Amino acid sequence: MTVISRKPQESLQESLQQVIRLLERHKLVEGMVHKQEMAKHDLVEQLVHRQNLTELQMKLAALHPADIAHILEALPPADRLTIWGLVDAEDDGEILLEVSDAVRESLLADMAPHEMVAAAGQLDTDELADLVPDLPQEVQSEVLGTLDAEDRAEVQSAMSYTDDQVGALMDFEMVTIRADVRLEVVLRYLRRFDELPTHTDKLFVVDDEEIIKGVLPLNKLLVSDPEQYVGDVMADDVVIFQPFDDAGEAAQAFERYDLVSAPVVDSNHKVIGRITVDQMVDVIREESEAEVLSLAGLKDEDLFSSVGKAVKNRWPWLAINICTAFVASRVIGVFEDTISHLVALAALMPIVSGIGGNTGTQTTTLIIRGLALGQITTSNTRMLLIKELGIAVINGLVWGGVLGVIAWALYGKWDLGLVMTAAMMLNMLVAALVGLFVPLTMQKLGRDPAYGSSVMITALTDSLGFFIFLGLATVFLM
């Protein structure tokens, strides 16, 4: 028998399209019924409404909370709230954790306080720490009041760290064992659990003071002689994290060492929690999404956010663009006489600035990636500078030469071709410098290196590209 499997993304997109079709049919049928004149109109309208929503509800009940979160992200606000009202209340907490901050805010605004408390009650303590800060103050107090002293202390501990620190992601469910017991005892101990904490691939070996001594991988436990002691088979080269460590760096370590879970310890190496691969995948995804938005000078924005919020989020960099565009126009204005005497310059200017912008974007993308991976240090910055300048010189000579020949062929002026070649090379050098130092400067100032980098590079390469090209033309062609 042949089994045909579908990729998760394809299945998810199919589910999204099905939900959209059901919503559209729901609106169409309800609109038609609403316009009809008939006996017991209100009763018929209620029955049709209930039937349509029941079909939607059945579709949503068959989906994973993460899939529902994706669907909510892809719907306009009105449809999003319709779907949110049909979701099984038992999934509310997980869905709120999966959606973006902007969408979560809109969903919480539609919930009553008791619904928020119920949603929070479905979550583990480490998950609660992610959700509670977004709840209204009075709801936060009520949620924390429903916890026992130990759980409340764990939530408050996780909430004491910022979102980009390991401590905010800690999972407090873990299995610890002692080094001086036999593996047979460990196996009996594990059988007492109804189930192990998710992503348990190793047990943490600690002493009487809960100080980390090593780890015992489950695969090692299962294949070793039950009569051996834990201390004889455990691994003592443990990758550990502290709660104030950067979450992004922890995610890189998970990728580098192929980790599934790892202990979190305090300054005395006492185990206080653990982090798992599912949390690190979320960190990588969120950082990737944030970097894409940051390159355009945007912060977290809902795809279907209101016009007012979107305008407020985007106007700072648009204002900067207007200022830089004005500077570029003034650069051109300074060379009005040159352009009026040689109109070909007006046709060639966009080529010089456009190639420069592309070169700068390539350089800055490489640098931002290097900074994110921790590969760029003060010791190798000079080498990077020399490399990027070398690339710019070669590309400038080659492609500048090609464009110079084209300009000569089009306008019959060999000196215009030389100016074009020189301008291209110089602008590529400038673009390489800008692409290198803009993200490095942003990081030195304590800002996200990606934030607004593409906007700044485009602005600088345009203005300087015009100045270089028109300046050379004024000197050598007039």
Lowest mean per-residue pLDDT among 47-56, 332-341, 445-454: 47-56
Name the band, by pLDDT with cuts 50, 70 and 90, for residue 441.
confident
What average pLDDT is seen over the chain?
A: 84
Q: Name the CATH topology of 307-477.
A: Tetracycline Repressor; domain 2 (1.10.357)
Query: Which pLDDT does position 113 carry in this prediction?
Result: 92
Name the band, by pLDDT with cuts 50, 70 and 90, for residue 20.
confident
pLDDT in tens, 236-279: 999 999 999 999 899 989 999 999 999 999 999 999 999 999 99
CATH (residue range 12-163): 1.25.60.10
Query: Which pLDDT does position 370 carry in this prediction?
Result: 82
Lowest mean per-residue pLDDT among 108-112, 217-221, 370-374, 464-468: 370-374
Q: Name the CATH topology of 176-296.
A: CBS-domain (3.10.580)
CB atoms within 10 A of CB 89: 10
Read off the pLDDT of each residue in 342-351 and give the average, rounded to a whole number. 82
- With a pLDDT cut of 90, the percent of the chain lying above it is 33
Read off the pLDDT of each residue in 117-131 and give the average, rounded to a whole number. 88
> What string of DSSP letters covers 355-407?
HHHHHHHHHHHHHHHHHHTT---TTTHHHHHHHHHHHHHHHHHHHHHHHHHHH
Q: Where in the chain is the domain with CATH 3.10.580.10?
A: 176-296
pLDDT at 287 > cutoff 90: no
What is the spatial distance between Cα 158 and Cα 171, in angstroms, rounded to a whole number?
9
DSSP assignment, residue 171? B
> What string of DSSP letters covers 61-124?
HTS-HHHHHHHHHTS-HHHHHHHHHHS-GGGHHHHHHHS-HHHHHHHHHTS-HHHHHHHHTTS-
Q: Where in the chain is the domain with CATH 1.10.357.20?
A: 307-477
pLDDT at 44 > cutoff 50: no
Q: Where in the chain is the domain with CATH 1.25.60.10?
A: 12-163
